[in-house]
């Protein structure tokens, strides 16, 4: 399903089997089933929080663009890469 993930896909973070905490405003995750932990930087932490509800990559890119004053093209690229990483790590639900 990774190949079908686009900016228009509906996505949501996977909370099942994932423990989450914050340290110095950065999200730290433990994927209990896989025994792996992830330490997100500020930008990734924002994206993770915004994925709490079903959204699209387009929406996430626009939020990133607005908050960090980066180009829309750069935010779209960064968001798509991040979503693919989450999907590979079994931390993302790809709804369509």
Q: Is 43 inside a domain boundary? A: yes
Q: Is the pLDDT of residue 12 over 90?
A: yes
In a domain, 5, yes or no: no
Residue 4 in any domain: the answer is no
Q: Is residue 84, in this structure, part of any structural domain at all?
A: yes
Domain count, the chain: 1
What's the confidence (pLDDT) of residue 96?
76
**Parent domain of 62:** 17-94
Q: What CATH number did the domain enclosing 38 receive?
A: 1.10.10.1150
> Is 47 inside a domain boundary?
yes
In whole angstroms, give the CA distance from residue 23 to residue 14. 20
**In a domain? residue 7:** no
- The pLDDT score that the predictor gives to residue 1 is 43
- Give the CA distances from residue 53 to residues 2, 8, 23, 34, 36, in Å, rounded to whole numbers and listed in that order: 20, 15, 22, 23, 23
* Mean pLDDT, range 12-26, rounded to an integer: 94
Give a yes or no: residue 33 inside a domain: yes
Q: Rounded distance, CA 35 to CA 96, Å?
A: 28
How would residue 35 be classed by pLDDT, with cut points 50, 70 and 90?
A: very high
Answer yes or no: is 37 within a domain: yes
38 neighbors 29 (Cβ within 8 angstroms): yes
């Amino acid at each position: 399903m990774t190949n079908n993930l686009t900016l228009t896909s509906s996505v949501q973070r996977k909370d099942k089997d994932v423990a989450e905490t914050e340290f110095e405003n950065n999200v730290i995750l433990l994927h209990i089933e896989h025994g792996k932990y992830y330490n997100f930087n500020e930008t990734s932490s924002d994206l993770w929080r915004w994925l709490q509800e079903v959204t699209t990559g387009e929406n996430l890119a626009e939020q990133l663009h607005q908050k960090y004053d980066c180009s829309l093209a750069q935010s779209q690229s960064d968001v798509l890469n991040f979503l693919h990483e989450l999907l590979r790590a079994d931390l993302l639900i790809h709804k369509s």
